[in-house]
């Protein structure tokens, strides 16, 4: 009996005892892996999936987790000064096909069952917490908004002392203005000469 399976976006034809290199699978070396994406089962009777065969699976054992040989990649573009050279090693997983199960395989639903009670427990915890918090909130007095106290009015004398005093120029009396006028020399004004036309 042989099977065509899909793993890592690629299809492989496998038989019991075959060793297959597939794209990297997150599994420890020595652990068992169930590949349930079976497209075709061949042998005495051929069964074709639409696109997969329900209940069919291939049991494999992880032998190696490694990388392929290095390939050199070189980018070159003429007259553009583009020359890039680097290496790449593709990771892979080596599997040993132990058995092919044509039917009777059921996907484990342990994860979904395990997650459901945790979600319920969390929900009950949150409800209990809200029940405890709500009465406390009801009993606690409402916080009053802080009232700003007006600054006490300062005494008028103190206020007057704080204000800067402006100096005002003293008004001059009439006699002082006359005296200053005498002291300052009068501006000499030139009389314009008027020329009389000769007769």
What ranges do the domains of the chain cover? 2-108
Neighbours of 197 (CB within 10 A): 4
State the pLDDT at residue 16: 95
pLDDT at 3 over 90: yes
- pLDDT, mean of residues 144-163: 58
Q: Say what the alpha-carbon torsion angle 92, 95, 100, 103 is, to the nearest 10 degrees.
A: -50
State the pLDDT at residue 118: 53
State the pLDDT at residue 108: 79
Neighbours of 94 (CB within 10 A): 16
- For 183, half-sphere exposure in the C-beta direction (CA atoms, 13 angstrom radius) is 6
Q: How far apart are CA 34 and CA 94, in angstroms?
A: 14
State the pLDDT at residue 86: 97
CA-to-CA separations, 71 to 66, 74, 84, in angstroms, rounded = 15, 10, 14
% residues pLDDT > 90 (the chain):
49
State the pLDDT at residue 106: 84
Q: How far apart are CA 17 and CA 95, in angstroms?
A: 10
In the chain, beta strands by DSSP E:
2-7, 10-15, 19-23, 32-35, 38-42, 47-48, 57-67, 71-77, 82-88, 91-101
Quickly tell me which residue has 């042989």 as its tokens: 2
Q: What pLDDT band is residue 6 in, cutting at 50, 70 and 90?
A: very high
Q: Return the closest-CA partner of residue 20 out of 62, 52, 49.
A: 62
């Amino acid at each position: 009996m042989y099977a065509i399976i899909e793993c890592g976006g690629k299809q492989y034809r496998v038989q019991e005892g075959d060793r297959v290199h597939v794209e990297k699978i997150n599994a420890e070396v020595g652990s068992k892996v169930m590949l349930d994406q079976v497209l075709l089962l061949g042998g005495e009777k051929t069964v074709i999936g639409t696109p997969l065969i329900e209940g069919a699976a291939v049991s494999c054992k992880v032998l190696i987790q490694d990388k392929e040989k290095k390939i050199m990649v070189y980018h070159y573009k003429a007259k553009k000064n583009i020359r890039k050279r680097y290496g790449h090693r593709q990771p892979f997983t080596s599997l040993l096909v132990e058995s092919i199960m044509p039917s009777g395989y059921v996907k484990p639903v342990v994860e979904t069952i395990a997650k459901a009670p945790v979600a319920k427990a969390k929900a009950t915890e949150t409800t209990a917490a809200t029940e405890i918090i709500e009465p406390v909130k009801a009993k606690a007095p409402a916080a009053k908004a802080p009232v700003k106290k007006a600054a006490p009015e300062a005494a008028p004398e103190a206020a007057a002392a704080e204000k800067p005093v402006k100096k005002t120029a003293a008004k001059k009396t009439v006699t002082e203005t006359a005296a200053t006028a005498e002291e300052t020399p009068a501006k000499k004004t030139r009389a314009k000469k008027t020329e009389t036309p000769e007769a």
